[in-house]
A and B are shown apart, each in its own frame.
Chain A
Amino acid sequence: MSYQGKFRVWRGDDTGGALEDFTVEVNEGEVVLDIIHRLQATQAPDLAVRWNCKAGKCGSCSAEINGKPRLLCMTRMSTFTEDEVITVTPMRTFPVIRDLVTDVSFNYTKAREIPSFTPPKDLAPGEYRMQQVDVERSQEFRKCIECFLCQNTCHVIRDHEENKEAFAGPRFLMRVAELEMHPLDTADRVDSAQESHGLGLCNITKCCSEVCPEHIHITDNALIPMKERVADRKYDPIVWLGNKLFRRS
């Protein structure tokens, strides 16, 4: 079954722009990215959209559909009614390049600020041995496809541009947690999570988890455990005393 769907797509660049109305054919089984491609092919050949795999695995086609941060390729048209106007806009948190394409280099800057995996000095590559139960927690975070929808949704930087310098965002605080929980990582990541990556700015309102297309429990399994580790280190005299008494590092 086909119908003529009503769309509003943001067109413009960093000097300005606006929502433009389009009517585009929609066929059964299609996703929003299919419609954007049809729009490009039939009415707006210069419409810019970033995409790659069309399978929810590359993290390229992040945008906002009816105000909700989502992957264009994973949003089925069947979730909307035929008379609904569907608004497609670029991610708000990042500078726009053109139309639906944003400059996500903020995220690469933040990624570089995290010291890489630091194995024990006496362990050569090839000698790493780990139990499955020890790496399972980190493995959940490896499902991340770096679509940056969590970064885009997080109000800490979405609503407060000035926090971008101090705050790494959920994706990269999760990266810190991944390394902190890694059984062979020896770097101290607890102090830096708070002091260098802005963990204290997170108020655990869970929007990062809500929009994650990989359904990673970012808040419950990464951010809150990191907050608890910081509490161990900084706000818990009992843990401090235990470490002193039993000479734990």
Chain B
Amino acid sequence: MARAEIAARTLRTDRWWLPPLTTFVGLLLISIYAAFRTFQGDYYWVDQYHYLTPMYSPCLSEECLPAAAHFGRPLPELPGFLTPPVIILPFLLGFRVTCYYYRKAYYRAAWMSPPACAVAEPHTKYTGETRFPLIAQNLHRYFFYAASILLLINIYDAIVAFGTGVGLGNIILLVNVGLLGAYTLSCHSCRHIAGGRLKHFSKHPVRYWMWTQVSKLNNRHMLLAWTSLVFVCLTDLYVALVASGTISDLRIIN
């Protein structure tokens, strides 16, 4: 027996191409901005108000400004065009790239596998996540652990910045860690580790409670993935503008 003979790739009449296109453009713009700021190697620290952009935190190599290196500079100067963020970027990128939401986003938008539901993909062969390199998506939980440590460092940065008073930058840094925290906690691996892997919730009431709370956040994983990503860029932009003297920080106290 054969399938129904329908030649059209899809018979969908709605604008099914719009969400993958929007996602692609969004991810591309953010990638370009992040790459530019990473390799710019400047305007990441506002000495007057102790604002450190999350993209350069922690700053660990010799070329970091001493005041911005909250955890010292244990690494030597990086060769060539490399800048301090390249040390932490693999972990942050790894967390986002292996994230179950972003996987959906770029599989659809960039790889078109499939571009939208019930729209045929252009590839003749498909092996999913069964072999290298995509089998490495299973490492998501390790990137989650790494991203959690970096989040704690970002929280520390946001708190120490209050040592010079309170400005708009402080509020931005605080909102940023709030969004990053919510995104990290809403992660599917976090949900699994918190309690999802249990078979008997009734025997583990605390972990069951944790699982229910993470599950609530997990329902909004996509929203948190985008808001936290965009806000990190906005936070970085604000710090860059203040650090370069383009704008001055709006001070509330001091």
Interface residues on A, range: 35 or more
* Interface size in chain B (residues, C-beta < 8 A): 48
* A107 close to B (CB within 8 Å): no
- Chain A nearest CB from B17 CB (Å) reads 13
Assuming the contacts A131-B201, A133-B201, A206-B104, asked whether A102 and B121 have C-beta atoms less than 8 A apart, the reply is no
Contact A155 B121 (CB under 8 A): yes
Q: Chain B contact residues: over half helix, strand or loop, or mixed?
A: loop
* B196 close to A (CB within 8 Å): yes
Which A residues contact B (CB, under 8 angstroms)?
10, 12, 14-18, 64, 66-69, 84, 87, 89-90, 92-97, 102-103, 131, 133-134, 153, 155-156, 158-160, 163, 181-183, 198, 200-207, 210-211, 220, 224-225, 227-232, 234-236
Partner of B192, one of A84, A131, A201, A228: A228
Interface string of B103-125 (1 = CB under 8 A from A): 11001100001100111110101
Contact B197 A228 (CB under 8 A): yes
* B202 close to A (CB within 8 Å): yes
What's the Cα separation between A102 and B5 when bound, in Å?
A: 12
What's the Cα separation between A181 and B198 when bound, in Å?
A: 8
Contact A210 B1 (CB under 8 A): no
Contact A16 B5 (CB under 8 A): yes
Contact A203 B118 (CB under 8 A): no
* B24 close to A (CB within 8 Å): no
Contact B11 A87 (CB under 8 A): yes
Kindly list chain A residues whose C-beta atoms are within 8 Å of the C-beta of B202: 131, 133-134
Partner of A156, one of B14, B108, B128, B199: B128
The chain A residue with its CB closest to the CB of B12 is A67
* B129 close to A (CB within 8 Å): yes
